[in-house]
Structure 1
């Protein structure tokens, strides 16, 4: 079965996407005929030799010596003096952050009728912006922590009691995230967050809160859930810990949680997933507070596709490929214009 992994992109998470792609290659290459399509920061596409799928290939710019690809209806193509060669196969969108998770790639794939694994544009927009994610969760009856929104041009007045977390509204991997424990730390935390986004989200920081991760996807009318993971962290998963997390390929242990809590987590996941995220493998991060489940974040393209949470990751990808949403093609036959022309005798 053929599959192309699309990675890179023009975002702060560009390098993380490279790490994810290398990790997923190792998990899928025994079951799939893989191709690798790299999107650089200038939005040029390159076909990468599988043997050169190493981080240093991209940091040294060696990818520029490989074949450039051009997107066309149904897939990508290589162009040369003696004609072109078309690559027609489904795409696994593994571009983290902007481009991959903001709806740009989803729109591009839809526009050119290329089948792909990943969040569709509506799902991307609602999960990429943490403020919109709060709205989505509230509309579905899924609890979230209380929050404030602060824009770059706003006065730096925060009503949330200390301590609280400051995070860029449209960025992942804990980039730009800070815990603010007292007033003297606020300006610095906001300066850091505003380096990455013009909008920040402020939430109460709950020391020692239980956090659980659950991934899954829908195929053939049924959701396949991963195990429930309790991430090992200090105060929160900072960038360095998450960066290492993106290269994980070994399995992890199921969290020591009750069946009742697993049921709650799955019910909340299903409310978020269906039907908006069909066609994607996503991970939801939850808090558990006094027996209640709260959504923390939606990861529409989780690091390394959360492969380590599934017993049969490659089998799951095969299953998902066989159940991708089919966008209805619109055929224009110009009946309206023809009828007007005939009425006018033209």
Structure 2
């Protein structure tokens, strides 16, 4: 079975997606097919040996074979259109385009098999506001929150944390502890989103991350990570200081708490995430588990949280949910014609 990785996209997380794809190249022993979507929504086939940061930052990728998407997959452009021999694609575009449902829609429209969240699950998990509604529907606790738009009358109980509602990777988040710092933080966060999610900031709150996916009738869980952080887990701590698995810390928690976190994950996953590898980030307060956010396309697919990741991905690719194959036979039109 041949796997392909679609990465890039037009979003604030474009470069993070590139880093994720480069990382997975080294994780998989088998060769992968890499399809890059640039800021102009053009698709390119990237050879494995060109999967390095400088190839993209220098725009050398434009020398690669250009692709078009049609029913069944990606095709090399030219006089004789040749299909890329990929059986299943992995949606590895982070943020806008990849996690908001656009790529899921594109793949589903063209009958392309893929690992990733489908349209409805993508829409609900991409928006931090809709994620709150999803959690409420399935009975998972979340922190109290407010939604702010520019020009809204603001009445906050400090300290609070401001989060752009449609963005990941901890981009644009701010902790505000007093009124005098609010205006600057609002301007910063509104640069990234027209809606802000405002939650109480709890200093020193315990955070735990869990990834997983359904394989046949069983959810395969990763180990639970307790991320290293300062005050908050911001963009710099997530990405700029990344140096491989040395920073990954398996959570030292009781079996009871581990099972609680897994049960809350199941409730979320069962609401339409079949076929996707997702990571849920949780808070634990007074031994109660609260959902922080859902990562429908986690960085590097959260491979570092799993044992035997490559084999698990291939098993998932072989056991993706079946799509509804609608037959078009024109019986109704034949009936109309015959009655004239």
TM bin, normalised by shorter chain, reads over 0.9
Are the aligned partners of 2:207 and 2:226 in contact in 1 as well (CA < 8 Å)?
A: yes
Are the aligned partners of 1:285 and 1:298 in contact in 2 as well (CA < 8 Å)?
A: yes
Query: Quick one: distance in 2 between partners of 1:50 and 1:246?
Result: 22
Deviations 1:202-224 (A, max 9, x none): 00000010110000000111100
Q: Residue 8 of structure 1 aligns with which residue?
A: 8
Q: 2:41 aligns with which of 36, 40, 43?
A: 43
SS, match of residue 184 in structure 1: helix
Q: Residue 87 of structure 1 aligns with which residue?
A: 84
Q: Residue 228 of structure 2 aligns with which residue?
A: 232
Q: Which runs of 4+ in 1 moved over 6 A?
A: none
SS, match of residue 283 in structure 2: strand
Matched, 1:104 2:109: no
Are the aligned partners of 1:250 and 1:308 in contact in 2 as well (CA < 8 Å)?
A: no
Are the aligned partners of 1:251 and 1:308 in contact in 2 as well (CA < 8 Å)?
A: no
CA deviation after TM superposition for structure 1 residue 250, in Å = 5.9
SS, match of residue 96 in structure 1: coil
TM-score for both structures, normalised by structure 1: 0.95
SS, match of residue 229 in structure 1: coil
Provide the aligned C-alpha RMSD in A: 1.3
Q: 2:284 aligns with which of 274, 283, 288?
A: 288
Number of equivalenced pairs = 339
CA deviation after TM superposition for structure 1 residue 5, in Å = 0.8
Q: Residue 181 of structure 1 aligns with which residue?
A: 177
Matched, 1:311 2:307: yes
Query: Quick one: distance in 2 between partners of 1:33 and 1:19?
Result: 17
Query: Quick one: distance in 1 between partners of 2:268 and 2:243?
Result: 26
Query: Quick one: distance in 2 between partners of 1:58 and 1:292?
Result: 44
Are the aligned partners of 1:39 and 1:45 in contact in 2 as well (CA < 8 Å)?
A: yes
Q: Residue 19 of structure 2 aligns with which residue?
A: 19
SS, match of residue 172 in structure 2: coil
Deviations 1:25-75 (A, max 9, x none): 1101x1x33111000001000000110100111111000011000001101
SS, match of residue 221 in structure 2: strand
Q: Which runs of 5+ in 2 are unaligned?
A: none
Q: 2:162 aligns with which of 141, 151, 166?
A: 166
Q: Which runs of 5+ in 1 are unaligned?
A: none
CA deviation after TM superposition for structure 1 residue 248, in Å = 3.5
CA deviation after TM superposition for structure 1 residue 177, in Å = 0.2
TM-score for both structures, normalised by structure 2: 0.97
Q: Residue 58 of structure 1 aligns with which residue?
A: 56
